[in-house]
Amino acid sequence: MIRKFPVDEQAISVFGFSSGGYGVWSMGRAFPGRFSALIPVSCNPHRDMQKYVVNSNTAVWTFNCATDGGVVLPRIEEEISSIHNKGGTAFMTTYDAGGHQIWRNALLETPLVDWLLWVRRDASPDRVPFGDNTAKRSRNDHYMLFEFPLYLCGMALCLGPLVVIGFEKVVEYDARCKQRGTEALAAHKRDINSFRIWTDTNARKAELRFMGFENGDAKFVSRSGQNFSMAISSLSEDDRRLLADIAPSAQWR
């Protein structure tokens, strides 16, 4: 990213949550002097972090919750105090509720984003100090007003393509069904207008050609040219269904 884009190398920050927060501490220790700020959330720190952040002018702001069983607050306080005592910049925000998932609070209820845009490794003494005593923004001021519209936009972006694809698939399936139905009906008509084996309700079979309807009966002709009339009800269920597919409703009734 640095090679490809005009990145300000004095203002590269690392944010991580839970195991990712522990990774933030690890990144700061592995690459001292690389980052302007470390923001580890819901995690315990490495020991002696002041060795890696104070001399490199890397700021730290950590977020944790008192009800999170996965963190040891005295251990975090010890490390933050150590950084302060060595002349570094370090803040600690602790919530009373929210458990392990307080990363949302960090992003939505504090000036963290503003702070990240301000903090640099080569901070000029002429810049106005920006500390954790900055007035916290109310969640309602910058989030609740847009929460529902953003939720709707997110749902539309996620579900919109699925709805369109689903509608296209339904239309495509309906077209295929109609095509198959048309082809099947054409096959029935071809089959019914040629000589085929017809079966009655007594399982008797005869090779006949269907000629049409007369007075509610089905008319047939044999290969020898003899004409037959049969009550539709006397035909097998399959043959009645075959006639029903092509017979006009008035004649079928």
Tens of pLDDT, residue by residue over 21-54, are: 999 999 999 999 899 999 999 999 988 898 899 8
Distance from C-alpha of 87 to C-alpha of 223, rounded to nearest angstrom:
111
What is the pTM (predicted TM-score) of this model? 0.50
Mean pLDDT, range 217-243, rounded to an integer: 82
Asked if residue 180 has pLDDT above 50, the reply is yes
Asked if residue 194 has pLDDT above 80, the reply is no
The strands making up 90-95's β-sheet, listed across from edge to edge, are 13-17, 37-41, 59-65, 90-95
pLDDT score at 147? 61
Distance from C-alpha of 209 to C-alpha of 225, rounded to nearest angstrom:
10
Closest CA to 26 of 10, 2, 4, 44: 44
pLDDT score at 246? 59
pLDDT score at 135? 41
223 or 184, which is more confident: 223
Please enumerate in sequence order all residues whose Cβ is within 8 A of that of 103, keeping only pairs 6 or more positions apart, or say none.
17, 41, 42, 63
- Both tokens of 119, joined, read 């903090």
Asked if residue 183 has pLDDT above 80, the reply is no
Name the DSSP class of 32. T
Longest dimension (CA), the chain: 115
